[in-house]
A and B are shown apart, each in its own frame.
Chain A
Amino acid sequence: MKVVVPVKRTPDTAGEKVIDADSLTVDREAGESVLCPVNEFSIEEAVRLKEKHGAEVTVLVVGPEEAQPTVRKALSYGLDAGLQITDEAIAGSDALGTARVIAAALEATEFDLVVFGGQSTDARTSLVPAAVAELLGLPSLTYTRYLEVDGETITVHREHEEGWDVVTASLPAVVSVVEAINEPRYPSFKGIMAAKSKPLETKSLADLGVSADEVGAGAASATMYEFAPRPPKEAGTVIEDDGSGAAAAQLADWLVEKKFV
């Protein structure tokens, strides 16, 4: 069984976020960039597929040269190989353009299952897994809180507002996972050392047969053109309770005044 885990490099949530005013893209060098925290869950699930089914797992990243540490970080959890798609023409792609690159990379790879993380911590669109599935003509089994592979069949529990749907499909398939699916382990020292020598292949758009005008800012069907940091919030009222809970009456008054109750 062959599994591909696409991962994303995102600005650290605790760090500074900068959008470059000329290119209108995230300046990923301005603050610290990290392996997107939601990928810890997709990577852990892939490791479990390795342990259970002997799956061979490739980590896939779309991004510039500087994204290489992200691939190595992902490999340190015990994945087998890395594939990085690097091309200047990709910069400025919208979610659907990024999906085109990932789909093309997958088409050039053998796989049974693609395991995405949940909503990335930067743009949070959640569009990519379903778009990739559409481009490949595969089922999109997203927001999965449980998955099981039995031969050619996959069963997943897809989380929604009221609970979850139990869904079955045939492989190959595209899944994305939510946090409830597992408890990620940390990379071991051995894993970190081994990651340095794992095979890492780099491909360009030309290698994938994708024309540069299909991706990038020029091909984007929706474009961000203006941005501003969130204005700082005015300080609110903070009161101290005397230990008796009496402050609760003031809070209740406030809630009534604001018409929340």
Chain B
Amino acid sequence: MSEMLVLIDHSDDGPRKVSLQMLTKARELAEITGDTVAAVWFGPGAADAAPTLGAYGAGKLYHWDSADAYGYVTLPQVEALEYLIDTSEADTLLFASSNHVKDVASRLAIRMEAGVITDVSGIELAEDGRWVATKEVFGGDMITKSTFAEGKLSFLGVSSNAFPAVESNGASPELVAIDIDLTEEAKAAQVVSVEKVAGADRPDIGEAAVVVAGGRGLGSEDGFQLMEQLADMIGAGVGASRAATDAGWYPHRYQIGQTGRTISPTLYLGSGISGAIKHRAGMQTSQNIVAINKDAEAPIFQIADFGVVGDLYKIVPKLVEELEARK
């Protein structure tokens, strides 16, 4: 019997969805192993989030309520987790497989000689007690299973939307405050300021359940106003193909594809995107795919669950109206 740590990824508004998905999965696994699920929260806000974290499966909540946790790059969280793993019975860590959190897991794995598997979409317990992780590689072309070397601490990076988030009526967890003194090394890279971009109130495309995406077929940056209108109606994030970001119609940070973001939403709705392989590598693991394109031969239709061949400027405004009427 040991502890399974779940590193909670959160914004100022509370835990991100992936954190609740991880807790749900951890609870399910802990029922088999008899482990305790312990959430880990860095920065202020732990007490407010505690009831929610408990409801999704956290039996314990370690929190380090210090501005230092995010005042320097990566290492404060590495040092806090190292302290926690050293002083607890933890041998498994679940973390959100997003960019900045992967850095924490990577540095910690080197420090503690742990094994780390990222972008995990399935976790099972093997007969010998080791974790088996499912992971998709080559932009989703290949599905693999991996496991950890014997006796290694196991760090599992969980993909957004890989698991459902299900409440379990769990009680509010026991709160355990930790406090550590950072080393000088941990303060070497200082966060001077945080710049938030416009549109940050829209869900991030990496974690959104629904992503609306636009491409070359939009013809101009004005087309993205239409995409945003549709997205805001259904609570979606907005992404773009590289053709659209390279044309300057939408910022690079929203590019979906081999050199941009990889997304796996429950629904991807692409307009004016032909679905070249370089784009598909970033979105073909989406659970449902809808495509609107004027070219019936566009490759996107080969992977679409629902496709509409036609003029997106006729179809999308009409779709917004139709959805409004069904609300």
Contacts and interface: CB of A to CB of B under 8 A. Distances in A.
Interface of A: 11, 13-14, 17, 19, 37-38, 40-41, 94-96, 99, 118-119, 121-131, 133-135, 137-143, 145, 155, 157-170, 173, 178-180, 183, 220-230, 233, 235-252, 254-256, 258, 260-261
B110 interface: yes
B263 to A, nearest CB: 12
Interface stretch (B39-47, B50-58, B304-312): B304-312
B318 A118 contact: no
Contacts of A141: 73, 189
Contact of B137 (A122, A244, A247): A122
Interface in B190-243: 190-197, 200, 204, 206-207, 210, 234
A252 B307 contact: no
A250 B288 CA distance: 16
B113 interface: yes
* Most chain B C-beta atoms within 10 Å of own C-beta, residue among A17, A163, A183: A163
A179 B138 contact: no
A246 B195 contact: no
B290 interface: yes
Given A124-B262, A127-B116, A139 B110 contact: no
A118 B258 CA distance: 10
A233 B288 CA distance: 11
Given A163-B200, A165-B191, A255-B323, A245 B110 contact: no
B122 interface: no
B67 interface: no
- Contact count band on B: 35 or more
B243 to A, nearest CB: 13
Interface string B236-279: 00000000011000011101001110100011000000000110
A162 B12 CA distance: 10
A41 B74 contact: no
B258 A127 contact: no
Given A127-B106, A160-B100, 7 more contacts: A130-B74, A131-B109, A134-B106, A163-B200, A167-B191, A248-B322, A251-B292
Nearest to A228: B143
A13 B149 contact: no
Contacts of B315: 241, 245, 247-248, 251
B87 interface: no
A169 B308 contact: no
Nearest to B16: A161
A142 B142 contact: no
B80 interface: no
Given A131-B110, A180-B251, A243-B314, A233 B188 contact: no
A118 B200 contact: no
Given A167-B191, A221-B149, A249 B318 contact: yes
Given A99-B110, A141-B73, A245-B318, A163 B102 contact: no
B110 A260 contact: no
A127 B102 contact: yes
Contacts of B296: 238, 240
A13 B103 contact: no
A118 B252 CA distance: 13
Contacts of B59: none
B181 interface: no
Nearest to A256: B326
A106 B301 CA distance: 46
B256 to A, nearest CB: 11
20 contacts: A11-B138, A17-B142, A19-B142, A96-B116, A127-B116, A138-B188, A139-B189, A161-B204, A161-B206, A163-B197, A166-B193, A221-B115, A222-B115, A228-B144, A243-B310, A248-B316, A251-B292, A252-B322, A255-B323, A260-B234
Nearest to B261: A119
A221 B147 contact: no
B317 interface: yes
B160 to A, nearest CB: 11
A178 B142 contact: no
Contacts of B105: 127
A230 B142 contact: yes
Contact of A163 (B118, B137, B195): B195
Given A162-B200, A167-B189, A241-B311, A122 B138 contact: yes
B323 A125 contact: no
Nearest to B313: A245
Given A164-B195, A228-B143, A261-B323, A139 B266 contact: no
